[in-house]
């Protein structure tokens, strides 16, 4: 009996020791969970981000171009991305100045201004293309030098259309000392039509829109001058996004671009291959004199 009692007491003491150790480990685990909870919860909660896109296309095409990208981005990140429409470029610029969008797709000068006023930072750009403006004239115009346009009427889509107008007007004055009389006709197509009809001596556009012209128009025109190349339109994020969200969204864009199954989603933007971007990719624009020609609307 004595042996049995001693054995039983020893077993009970051993069991109590195991239970105490288990409770201690559980307590340590609970403390760790409490301490790590903010970061765990913060990374797990899905958020909704607003997306603003410069209205370079009409609303229906803009939606059909960007909504599939945002849907794929949502699947990658677990977040929701809401496309916010802007009817006009001035309306988009106004919303941009107020920081109303969490994420933007904008022209390079918009990106510079948005960085200065709201702190937006570029995270993605096309890694294959450069953006350049073109100046077209009629083939039979007899205009062979940019200097011949001094004092002439030149058509542009809008004051702040970057390659077609803003950089082009800066180049004409700053690089060639040429003063033109600008006429703003709203669209690239209207620019080319004005030149074809002889209502303007020349017109500003970009290579992409020129290549889309019907032959009966493009065959009448030739490119007189191309602007200096610049990095293309970036995707930027507002500084109110956390570093974690910014990196997650950037990584998702890169993954979508590298995946053959989803890369084609970017073709209508157009972006050939998404790559990392930073504000340093666009700061050179500050030295090109664009600010003197930018119209704040």
Same domain, 96 and 110: yes
Same domain, 212 and 139: yes
Given the DSSP bridges, would you call strands 274-276 and 121-126 parallel, antiparallel or unpaired?
Answer: antiparallel
User: What whole-number distance in Å separates Cα of residue 254 and Cα of residue 233?
Assistant: 16
pLDDT of 58: 77
Same domain, 240 and 125: yes
Total count of domains within the chain: 3
Give the distance between the most distant pair of CA atoms in the chain. Answer: 123
Q: What is the DSSP string of 29-84?
A: HHHHHHHHHHHHHHHHS--EEEEEE---S-HHHHHHHHHHHHHHHHHHHS-EEEEE
CATH code of the domain in which 277 resides: 3.40.190.10
Q: How confident is the model at residue 31 (pLDDT cuts 50, 70, 90)?
A: very low
End residue of a domain, out of 169, 202, 226 = 226
| 21 has pLDDT over 70 | no
Domain membership flag for residue 206 = yes
What are residue 250's DSSP bridge partners? Answer: none
Same domain, 123 and 142: no
* For helices 89-97 and 108-117, angle between their N-to-C axes, nearest 10 degrees: 30
Same domain, 117 and 91: yes
Same domain, 54 and 167: no
Residue closest to 203 by CA, chosen among 219, 186, 188: 188
Contact between 102 and 237 under an 8 Å Cβ cutoff? The reply is: yes
Sign of the Cα pseudo-torsion (31, 36, 42, 44, in order): negative
Same domain, 123 and 179: no
Same domain, 27 and 63: no
In three-state secondary structure terms, 214 is coil
Domain of 166, in residue numbers:
133-226
User: What whole-number distance in Å separates Cα of residue 88 and Cα of residue 158?
Assistant: 11
User: What whole-number distance in Å separates Cα of residue 117 and Cα of residue 132?
Assistant: 25
Same domain, 112 and 157: no
Token reading at 143: 């205009």
Domain membership flag for residue 219 = yes
| 118 has pLDDT over 90 | yes
Same domain, 201 and 81: no
| 160 has pLDDT over 70 | yes
| 89 has pLDDT over 70 | yes
pLDDT of 37: 39
Contact between 169 and 156 under an 8 Å Cβ cutoff? The reply is: yes
Question: Mean pLDDT in the chain?
Answer: 87
220-277 confidence digits (pLDDT tens): 999 999 999 999 999 999 999 999 999 999 999 999 999 989 999 999 898 999 999 9
pTM of the model: 0.75
> HSE-up of 60 (CA within 13 Å, CB side)?
0
Same domain, 267 and 194: no
**Cβ of 254: how many Cβ atoms within 10 Å?**
17
User: What whole-number distance in Å separates Cα of residue 44 and Cα of residue 16?
Assistant: 39
Same domain, 39 and 55: no
203-228 confidence digits (pLDDT tens): 999 998 898 899 999 999 999 999 99
Phi, psi of 124, rounded to the nearest 5 degrees: -140, 140
Phi, psi of 275, rounded to the nearest 5 degrees: -140, 165
User: What whole-number distance in Å separates Cα of residue 288 and Cα of residue 174?
Assistant: 8
Domain membership flag for residue 297 = no
In three-state secondary structure terms, 208 is helix
Contact between 262 and 214 under an 8 Å Cβ cutoff? The reply is: no
End residue of a domain, out of 171, 205, 226 = 226
Token reading at 130: 């450069």
Q: What is the H or E stretch that residue 188 is in?
A: helix 188-196
End residue of a domain, out of 226, 253, 268 = 226
Domain membership flag for residue 264 = yes
């Amino acid at each position: 009996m004595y042996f049995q009692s001693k054995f039983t007491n020893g077993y009970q003491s051993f069991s109590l020791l195991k239970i105490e150790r288990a409770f201690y480990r559980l307590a340590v685990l609970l403390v760790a969970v409490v301490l790590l909870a903010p970061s765990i919860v913060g990374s797990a909660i899905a958020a909704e981000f607003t997306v603003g896109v410069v209205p370079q296309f009409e609303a229906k095409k803009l939606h059909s171009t960007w909504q599939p990208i945002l849907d794929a981005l949502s699947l990658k990140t677990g977040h929701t991305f809401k496309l916010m429409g802007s009817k006009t470029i001035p309306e988009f610029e106004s919303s941009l100045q107020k920081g109303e969008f969490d994420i933007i797709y904008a022209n390079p000068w918009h990106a510079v201004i948005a960085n200065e006023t709201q702190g937006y930072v570029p995270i993605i750009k096309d890694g294959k293309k450069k953006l350049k403006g073109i100046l077209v004239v009629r083939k039979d115009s007899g205009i062979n030098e940019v200097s011949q346009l001094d004092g002439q009427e030149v058509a542009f889509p809008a004051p702040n259309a970057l390659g077609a107008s803003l950089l082009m007007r800066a180049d004409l004055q700053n690089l060639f000392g040429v003063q033109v009389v600008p006429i703003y006709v709203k669209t690239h197509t209207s620019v080319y039509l004005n030149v074809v009809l002889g209502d303007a001596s020349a017109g500003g556009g970009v290579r992409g829109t020129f290549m889309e012209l019907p032959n009966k128009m493009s065959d009448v025109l030739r490119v007189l001058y191309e602007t200096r190349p610049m990095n293309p339109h970036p995707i930027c994020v507002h500084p109110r996004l956390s570093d974690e969200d910014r990196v997650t969204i950037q990584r998702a864009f890169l993954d979508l671009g590298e995946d053959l199954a989803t890369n084609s989603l970017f073709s209508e933007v157009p972006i050939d291959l998404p790559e990392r971007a930073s504000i340093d990719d666009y700061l050179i624009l500050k030295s090109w004199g664009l600010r003197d020609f930018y119209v704040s609307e």
